[in-house]
Amino acid sequence: MILAATTTAIAVAPFFGTAAVAHPAHSVSITPVLGGLAAPRGIAFDGRGSMYVAESGVAGDGPAGLTQTGKVSKYRWGSTTPSWSTPFSSVYATEDPSAPPDVLGPEGLSATSSRCSTHRRDDRSSHSRYRWHHRSHNKACQVSMIMSESTPGVAAASGGAVNAPQAGHLYRLNGATGAATDKADVGSQMYKWTGDNKALFPDDFPDSNPYGVLVTQDHRNGRTRTFVADAGANTISEVMRDGTARIIAYIPNETAAPFRDSTPTCIAQGPDGWLYVGTLHFVSNLFTGSGGNQSDVWRVNPNANYPTAPQLWTSGLTTVTACTFDRSGNFWATEMFQGGLEASPPGDIVKIPFRNPSSHTRIGAGQLALPGGIAQGPDGAMYVTVGSSAPGVSGGVMRVGR
């Protein structure tokens, strides 16, 4: 299967006006930041406040193929003109002849807030996780990006017609120049692992679709760790220095029969240091008559090894595509099809207090079409990519804040 979520032809251009739209229930405004993006998905901020956006790209001619329309772009704080854009390939395939082709390319983004920061945390404070103090630093920021699918998976799905050498690779981008360094072929490793463990999902394995990435840093020893959520293999893995992927957990894929589609799409690090993984559950949410609310968030020990089972943290979400924790310890997730396919448009974001995971507050219904990524900006607001699975260049970035 080429895509984790089906493309839908919902127009999102009207959501990029000039005025902020207030949401009376929560006293927040939802304001357009960028428009004209091609399936924007991942979004991240570095320690200097610069914003990075991943665009999966657009389809080409024919039923399946490869284009060079994916990219990652950097925007300095307050600017709507990219400092640089680094191109990547995009894979497209027509799974439903009545709908536009599905497109996958650059997906998840993650950037650490230290090492390149003009600030540092004061570890002597009782609020050291969230207090900041000035420090000059000249080191270039680094951002990590994961590509969808896998080279062998695309070849198998296309009968050998499409060669996608970048598919499933983890890249590190230099924040100053945009230069990309290939760090690991996660997709091929997970494709092989699922082939070796086909009994876990006989009807679908081998399969791989790396989709979410998280880079963490231990502020005590400076150790950097990189984790990947694979929406096809259902694995959470840690990418080691030599490029090998150590499998931490397998996210349970047993949902309402006959559908098995939990599909982990994102990873966020909680205040307790554990990993929190959101799931898409596309079919269960949209095609079983459930009315949605079938997606979960799983709690995973980053130091565990498969087959250690993850823990269910909360449920009742709908088609999660991205997640993060804000600096106050709240969990946020994008719900691409919240409201269902009949909503005009579908999509929302949800806020969940870390200490009360059963409390779900939704904020942007009707104003955040097909959200794909979420990150907290240096101003404390949440920034959301929208139009993430719409065709063409109708996507953008929205600011959600006071």
- DSSP letters, 171-206, are EEEETTT--EEEEEEHHHHHHHHHHHTGGGSTTT-S
- Indicate left, alpha or beta for 180 from its phi (over 0: left) and psi (-120 to 50: alpha): beta
Dihedral angle sign, alpha carbons of residues 21, 394, 317, 298:
negative
Contact 65, 90 (CB under 8 A): no
Q: Please name which of 352, 353, 349 lies closest in space to residue 399, comparing C-alpha atoms.
A: 349
Confidence at residue 383, expressed as pLDDT on a 0 to 100 scale: 98
Q: Please name which of 91, 60, 62, 57 lies closest in space to residue 162, comparing C-alpha atoms.
A: 91
Confidence at residue 219, expressed as pLDDT on a 0 to 100 scale: 74
Please report, as a single letter, which amino acid is at residue 270. G
* Phi, psi angle pair for 173, to nearest 5°: -110, 135
> CA-to-CA distance for 28 and 384, rounded, in angstroms?
14
Report which secondary-structure segment, H or E, holds 285.
helix 282-286
Which sequence spans correspond to the domains of the chain? 13-401
- Indicate left, alpha or beta for 31 from its phi (over 0: left) and psi (-120 to 50: alpha): beta
According to DSSP, residue 93 is labeled E
Query: From the first residue on, what is the mean pLDDT of each consecutive set of 10 residues in the chain (402 residues)?
Result: 43 39 66 98 96 97 95 97 98 88 96 64 36 48 95 96 97 96 98 96 94 90 93 97 97 70 95 97 90 95 97 97 98 97 95 98 95 98 96 96 92
Q: Is 2.120.10.30 the CATH number for 13-401?
A: yes
Tokens, residue 217: 């840093």
CB-based burial, 294-312: b 16+ in 10 Å, e otherwise:
bbbbbbbebebeeeeebee
> CA-to-CA distance for 326 and 381, rounded, in angstroms?
9
> CA-to-CA distance for 325 and 330, rounded, in angstroms?
5
Question: What are 157's strand-pairing partners?
Answer: none
> CA-to-CA distance for 385 and 40, rounded, in angstroms?
6
Neighbours of 1 (CB within 10 A): 15
Confidence at residue 26, expressed as pLDDT on a 0 to 100 scale: 56
Dihedral angle sign, alpha carbons of residues 337, 339, 345, 350:
negative
**Taking the chain, what is the end-to-end CA distance rounded to the nearest angstrom?**
41
